[in-house]
Amino acid sequence: MPKPSPRRDGREAAVQYLFGHESLGEAESDKDIFELFWNLRDAKPKVQAFAEELILGVREHQEEIDASISGSLENFRMERLTPVDRNILRLGVYEMRFADYIPPQAAINEAIEIAKRFGTEDSPKFVNGVLDRILKDSDKNDA
């Protein structure tokens, strides 16, 4: 498998961190966990910096992000999502709504690619459907 671009690698690291942090709970500060995380996951400094920017952004806006995801789920509750899908969606929504360096459709495509790598067989289609619904809803609200 080819080595991912630094940005993709940063996104993947962010999803891994968010997944792990959610599993561990709120016991430690991000600074402490970052140090432990980077001791376990090899990444270049640029990748680490981008991943940390994404992680802190998701965590800062998590309540709003989770509300967007919950509002776009049909016959599903946020708690029932797999932790991997939930954190891929969080990252996707963060990049779509709060990041100005990536077009929303590109953020969706990145989330789909990460879902292919880390999720279940159904994850890419599921992630695409939820993020597309969020994008269409935000387009309606902007109109």
Q: What per-residue confidence (pLDDT) applies to 36?
A: 86
Distances 61 to 26, 86, 123 between C-alpha atoms, Å: 16, 14, 23
pLDDT band at residue 18 under the 50/70/90 scheme = very high
Classify residue 71 by burial, with Cβ atoms within 10 Å: 0-12, 13-18, 19+: exposed
Residue 95 in any domain: the answer is: yes
Would 50 be classed as within a structural domain? yes
* Inside any domain, residue 23: yes
Has residue 63 been placed in a domain?
yes
Tens-place pLDDT, residues 93-102: 999 999 999 9
Whether residue 66 lies inside any domain: the answer is yes
Q: What is the CATH number of the domain that holds 101?
A: 1.10.940.10
d(CA 87, CA 17): 9
The pLDDT, as a whole number, for residue 1 is 58
Q: Would you state the structure tokens that stand for residue 142, as one six-digit string?
A: 């902007």
pLDDT of residue 137: 87
The pLDDT of residue 26 is above 70? no
Rounded CA-CA distance 126/89 in Å is 10
- Structural domain of residue 11, as residue ranges? 6-142
Residue 1 counted as domain residue: no
Residue type present at position 95? E
Q: Read off the tokens for 101.
A: 């360096």
| In-domain check, residue 28 | yes
Q: Angle 140-15-101 (CA atoms, 0-180°, nearest 5)?
A: 50
How many domains is the chain partitioned into structurally? 1
Domain-embedded: residue 34:
yes
Measured distance CA(93)–CA(62) in Å, rounded: 10
Over residues 58-94, the pLDDT tens digits come to: 999 999 999 999 999 988 888 899 999 999 999 999 9
Q: Is the pLDDT of residue 24 over 70?
A: yes
